[in-house]
Amino acid sequence: MGKVALIFSGQGAQYPGMGKELYHCSPAAKAVYDMADSIRPGTSHQCFEGTKEELSVTVNTQPTVFIADLAAAAAVAEKGVHIDYLAGFSLGEIAALGFSGMLSYEDAFRLVCKRGELMDKAANKTAGAMVAVMKLTPQRIEEICKEFDECWPVNYNSPAQTVVAMNKDIVDDFCEKIKAEKGRATPLAVSGAFHSPYMEEASLGLGEALAELSLNDPQIPLYSNYTAQPYEGDYKSLITNQCKNPVKWQETVENLIAKGVDTFIEVGVGKTLTGLVKRINKDVTAIKVENKEDLDALNI
C-alpha cells in the first residue's frame, strides 16, 4: 500500500445533522465539539439541529464545517490510521492547520470564526457570484474570463471543472458564453466571490488576526491551496493569500500522488473532494468519513 492523505472538505456541502453520529460514537470527535462549544456556545447545536438556511450563512458555515472536518479527522486518527499528508479545500485548510499541529485546536477554531466574519463582511460589500464550469479546459476558461471585467477562475477543481468568481451583473452573459462554447455553467448558491480580489479586505483582516498567533511547523506535511506545495517559508502569508487567490486543488492532488499517495480520505461533510480526486486520477482510492458507518468501514 502507498501513502495516505487526509483531505478536509470545504463549505458548500453543509447539512443539518452533520457530525452528530461521530459525536456520539467517537470520544475524540466529541472532544472537538465540546471544545468548540466552550469558545462559541451553540456550535454543536447548529451542526446537529440548525436549518439549512442557518448553516448557509457564512459566519455559521465556516465554524460548523470546520468542526465537522476536525472531529472526523480526530475520529480517524483515534482509530489508529497512519496519515502521511494533509490538504484542505479552502475552509478545510484551516481545519487541517489545527490537525497538523501548526495551531492548537482552540486557536484554529478562533481563526476560522474570524475568517467567516471577515469573508462574510467582504462578500456583503461586493456584488459577487460564483459559477461552476464543466466540459471546458481550465485554459479555455481562463481565456473566456479575460473577455469580461471582474471575472476570475478561482477553484481549479479537476480537468473537467473550474469555478469562476465574478461580479453578479455578468453572470447571465458569462453563462451564455460558456453555453456557446459547448460548456456547461452552473451558478452556485454562495454569498460572494470567494478566492477572488473581492476578498482583499478579508485577507488583510486575517493578517491582523494571525499577527497575534504563533504557528508551529506542521507535524504532518500540509499542502497549501495557494501554492499546491507543502507549507514552507512564511506560513502566515500562505493563509492570508489563500482566501483571495485561486484554490489549486487539481495540482495539489497531482502533487500528492507524485509523492506516493494512493489513498485519499475525505473527512468532514459530503463527498465532493472524493469525487474530484477520482476525476483527477481514477486509479487512486478515495473514500469519505463523515458518519459512524464510514468510520466503521474504514480499514487501512
d(CA 280, CA 262): 12
Q: How many CB atoms lie within 10 A of CB 288?
A: 22
| Partners of 129 in the β-ladder | 166
Using a cut of 0.85, tell me whether the model's pTM lies above it: yes
> Over the stretch 56-112, which tens digit does the pLDDT of each residue have?
899 999 999 999 999 999 999 999 999 999 999 999 999 999 999 999 999 999 999
Contact by Cβ (8 Å): 33, 42: no
Weakly modelled stretches of the chain, pLDDT under 50: none
Q: How many CA atoms lie within 13 A of 180 on its CB side?
A: 7
Interval 183-204: pLDDT, tens: 999 999 888 999 999 999 999 9
For residue 200, give the 3-state DSSP assignment.
helix
Query: What is the reported pLDDT for 12?
Result: 85
Using the Cα atoms of residue 226, residue 138, residue 168 and residue 268 in order, give the sign of their dihedral: negative
pLDDT score of 191:
82
pLDDT of residue 189: 80
State whether residue 300 is helix, strand or coil: coil
Catalytic residues: 90, 195
C-alpha cell, 84: 502521511
